[in-house]
Amino acid sequence: MRNKINFYIVEYAINSLLRQKYKTIFISSVFTMLVFLLSSLFFITNSIKYELEQTLEALPEITVQKIKAGRHYDIDVSVIDEILDIHGVSSAMPRVWGYYYFENAGVNFSLVGIDEYEEQYKKSFVDVASKLDFTKPSMIVGEGVRKVMDKNYYKEYFNFIKPDGSLMRVDISATFKAQSELESNDVIVMSKESAREIFDISAQKATDIVVRVANLNEVATVASKIKLLYPDTRVITKDDLKISYQNIFDYKSGIFLALFSVSLFTFFIIIYDRVSGLSSEQKREIGILKAVGWRVDDVLREKFYEGFIVSIFSYLFGITLAFTFVYILKAPLLQNIFIGYSQLKTSFTLPFVFDIQTLALIFFLSVPIYIAAIIIPSWRSATLEADEVIR
């Protein structure tokens, strides 16, 4: 019998919360805010991590760049033949790409040139290559770029300003979306020929060379061989890039950690306040309940329901608010803290990432702690002699 849910005790708990409605509203609001803040931060982090992983996944194993006095210069495509001779290299391709600054909007576009008959070094470009019209200057743009161009009345074409000051008209033929928004959002894909014209790169030069290695365990060896062959180059492996991205992300995570700590600190102050004792009125109520025949576990069950109702409501409401804030309203303010590293100012939608572990972590960081903070002081009062509590 005692294991059955006693709905009269549940009803009593609800009434008890309603009797102290201002206090209940205040605690629920603070609790909801904390869950909202924590989950928003977690959701943004998860989304950006997902984006980062997708971006890194698409990177070539090795990138070779020409360096002069520490600065990046265009590289001779002739080095490709020698690189291909290195044992273990499966392919080497010249890339023509660069950042194009669109002054009117104050944004950078990542402009990438591809070749119709070349093997595409990114999976997402395979589909783009099939759609691109290589017979005339045309381009396929990322969604962020499309929005910026639309805003500036470039709906069908865009005029690029070449290094000699002349204009080059390139038609917008389609919009593309890669797996990662960070990857595709600021990207413009066009023929290598058009890209060379815009950046003034001759046919014998390339921005860099991407190298694929058949056996991933040999990447470091191949990279060191390339470095030996061409000491004036910077040879970047995927792992180097991962570390570099991760460092930037970790720095951003530091800010996140600071916000996270502040939230937790506030939450624990509330918890401390609750654990440190009940008001004389609350103690007296527990004494009365015991005097009229409530057992200690009846009192604790009632307190559990009180804590559970407040915390589960606040948790669910906080999570819902965070989902709305991050994925529908695009996390104004908070998003900027994290995505600064992407170098783009074009609008960016955080991808929806459902991570049950994150939800569980927030749950265990808040709900059981709050319930315990309600139950512990009540247990202290309930286990005293009823006579002592009432008096």
Partner 1 sequence: MISLINVVKKYEVNENESVVALDKINLEIKEGQVVVLRGSSGSGKSTILSLIAALSKPTSGEVLVEQERASKLPDNFASEYRRHYIGFIFQKYNLIPTLSVEENIILPLVPMNLSEDEIQAKLQRVLRMFSIEHKSKQLVKNLSGGEQQRVAIARANVNNPKIILADEPTANLDEKLSLSFIEIIKELKEEGKTIIIATHDPLFFDLDIVDVEIEIYQGKII
**CA angle (173, 171, 110) in 5-degree steps:** 85
Residue 382 Cβ, how far from partner 1 at the closest point, in Å? 9
Q: Which residues contact 228 (CB under 8 A, 6 or more apart)?
A: none
Identify which of residues 82 and 388 has a Cβ nearer to partner 1 in the complex.
Answer: 388
Q: Which residues contact 346 (CB under 8 A, 6 or more apart)?
A: 107, 142, 144, 145, 147, 148, 185, 186
Identify which of residues 287 and 307 has a Cβ nearer to partner 1 in the complex.
Answer: 287
Nearest to 277 by CA among 374, 189, 161, 212: 374
Residue 148 Cβ, how far from partner 1 at the closest point, in Å? 60
Identify which of residues 4 and 68 has a Cβ nearer to partner 1 in the complex.
Answer: 4
Residue 1 Cβ, how far from partner 1 at the closest point, in Å? 7
HSE toward the beta carbon, residue 207, CA cutoff 13 A: 17
SS3 322: helix
Residue 384 Cβ, how far from partner 1 at the closest point, in Å? 9
- How far apart, in whole angstroms, are the C-alpha atoms of residue 40 and residue 321? 8
Identify which of residues 18 and 328 has a Cβ nearer to partner 1 in the complex.
Answer: 18
The site for partner 1 (CB under 8 A) is made up of: 1, 4, 6, 8-9, 12, 15, 19, 284-285, 287-298, 383, 385-388, 390
In angstroms, the Cα distances linking 222 to 74, 87, 231, 243, 354 are: 21, 8, 14, 19, 38
Residue 387 Cβ, how far from partner 1 at the closest point, in Å? 4
Amino acid at 119: E
Identify which of residues 261 and 383 has a Cβ nearer to partner 1 in the complex.
Answer: 383
Identify which of residues 5 and 356 has a Cβ nearer to partner 1 in the complex.
Answer: 5
Residue 303 Cβ, how far from partner 1 at the closest point, in Å? 13
Do residues 112 and 194 touch, judged by C-beta distance below 8 A? no
